[in-house]
Structure 1
């Protein structure tokens, strides 16, 4: 059985943009699309689902489509459904969120707890509809990026576009050399040279997706700034999230929070396996 791509809706314009994006994504990956509306009590749910289903059919008529209404709180319902999903797709702000919020509370909660990739659909039309031909993935030192890199390579493969892998690094504390340059002491303080971090993270995935053109960018500076700048000309930004030992959910961290709140394009949060 092929697991579906699930899109969560609440009737907001943001969730309808997510339906458009999810329909295109399901078509690219040849998976079913499941529209899910979850709310503890909502008498308008059947109409909301019908409108979203019609929108999905207009966007991608060939996609196998199903829908469901769950009378539960949205965040736990979506997280539960995500245990058997290709991915979860959400709008960046829902009906119940304060107008000044940059990211809806449901979207943030789901991104922090889901077992599958969560895509928060942000940005204008040019970013949501593949006009840049670039998928950007953030690579960190350690084991947190492997699944995210594989996800990003697969996205670039099905989109037939370029993958841009970005690794940002900072001079270790106590580096005695000039600003922006690494002394021998600082080089020894780094576990691996920044370029090697990227090469190691990309090796296995790029061997699986040999048709994908890959660009590597090593940036000296804050990861948040580097990823947001790279995302300015991207169709999708992919970041990884580590498991929190002894806690339920993922370690989103400050960088992931920043891109979820401020990225100009859709953001995929991919849990580490």
Structure 2
């Protein structure tokens, strides 16, 4: 079965960057790319808005142009471009259900506005059972050429789906993987954490590092081509992962599946990371 990478395109610089990233992703994995523009006719007073048909045609031209750029960048890559009419969030979520990976544009650091990473992108990330990657526009992120894939792994709830995705990305791209478990002393021991005896603290950290190595042992054997490093980093989870992302080509984080009828809940750490990490962020759902 052919792998499929779906990309949401709306004509913004962020979605153009997402399309370029998706093209590289598809080329690395031997997949095909489906570029999708979801046209939603304006519901407000259109007499004060651009002509709806002209705006629709402009968006259609953007998705076709993105397809031309991808085929020029990757000759031989199978690319389809489509514009459909509907509500963006459910339409993209439906497309994500049939894809191996969905790629969306993400606005500047720290903001929650924007077509694809506002309510629309958050809805897709929160409800998709397949991995979703959020990509910054050029200029919003540092150069990541040759940087490793970084996997943020919670030793309390290690996930095979999350770990496998990270190893597959590293194998196809770099191939180098840095696995980080963040040891938040305050979260575990309260404000008395910093008062832990230094020897006890080092022992606890050493035990966690050994546990992390054990979790990774079967994956190292399975992906022998991937150069793997692992470490336990002490500090606040969100700030530490944002700092680690400065030297990553892709940050892979998890999202626990929650069967909630309304709302978009992805967990406080993952929510903060997708806002503040400078590199592309892959969010992988797991039980």
1:49 corresponds to which of 26, 41, 63: 63
Q: More deviation in 115-124 or 19-28?
A: 115-124
Structure 1: distance between partners of 2:161 and 2:176: 18
1:11-50, aligned counterparts within 5 Å?
Answer: 11-41=11-41, 43-44=56-57, 45-50=59-64
- Secondary structure at 1:81's aligned position in 2? helix
Task: Name the counterpart of 2:45.
Answer: none
More helix per residue: 1 or 2? 2
Task: Name the counterpart of 1:209.
Answer: 223
Offset, 1:74: 1.1
Deviations along 1:201-245, one digit per CA (max 9) or x if unpaired, are 323322221111111110112111221111111100000111115
1:258-273, aligned counterparts within 5 Å?
Answer: 258-272=272-286
Structure 1: distance between partners of 2:190 and 2:277: 32
Instruction: Find out whether 1:70 has 2:84 as its counterpart.
Output: yes
Contact in 2 for aligned 1:166/1:226 (Cα 8 Å):
no
Residues 1:85 and 1:264: Cα distance change in structure 2 (over 3 Å): same
Instruction: Find out whether 1:224 has 2:238 as its counterpart.
Output: yes
Task: Name the counterpart of 1:160.
Answer: 174
Contact in 2 for aligned 1:122/1:128 (Cα 8 Å):
no
Residues 1:73 and 1:163: Cα distance change in structure 2 (over 3 Å): same
- Secondary structure at 2:195's aligned position in 1? coil
Contact in 1 for aligned 2:39/2:84 (Cα 8 Å):
yes
Contact in 1 for aligned 2:126/2:264 (Cα 8 Å):
yes
- Secondary structure at 1:43's aligned position in 2? helix
Structure 2: distance between partners of 1:128 and 1:80: 32
Contact in 2 for aligned 1:93/1:107 (Cα 8 Å):
no
1:103-182, aligned counterparts within 5 Å?
Answer: 103-122=117-136, 124=138, 130-171=144-185, 172-173=188-189, 179=195, 181=197
Residues 1:180 and 1:164: Cα distance change in structure 2 (over 3 Å): farther
Structure with larger Rg: 2
Offset, 1:193: 3.8
- Secondary structure at 2:56's aligned position in 1? coil
Aligned length: 269
- Secondary structure at 2:25's aligned position in 1? helix
Unaligned 5+ segments in structure 1 are none
Structure 2: distance between partners of 1:100 and 1:272: 27
Structure 1: distance between partners of 2:194 and 2:250: 36
- Secondary structure at 2:244's aligned position in 1? helix
Offset, 1:178: 5.7
Q: Output the TM-score relative to the length of structure 1.
A: 0.85
Structure 1: distance between partners of 2:64 and 2:237: 41
Residues 1:175 and 1:15: Cα distance change in structure 2 (over 3 Å): closer
Runs of 4+ in 1 over 4 A off after TM superposition: 97-103, 123-130, 174-178, 180-185, 245-251
Instruction: Find out whether 1:83 has 2:94 as its counterpart.
Output: no
Task: Name the counterpart of 1:9.
Answer: 9
Contact in 1 for aligned 2:107/2:137 (Cα 8 Å):
no
Q: Output the TM-score relative to the length of structure 2.
A: 0.81
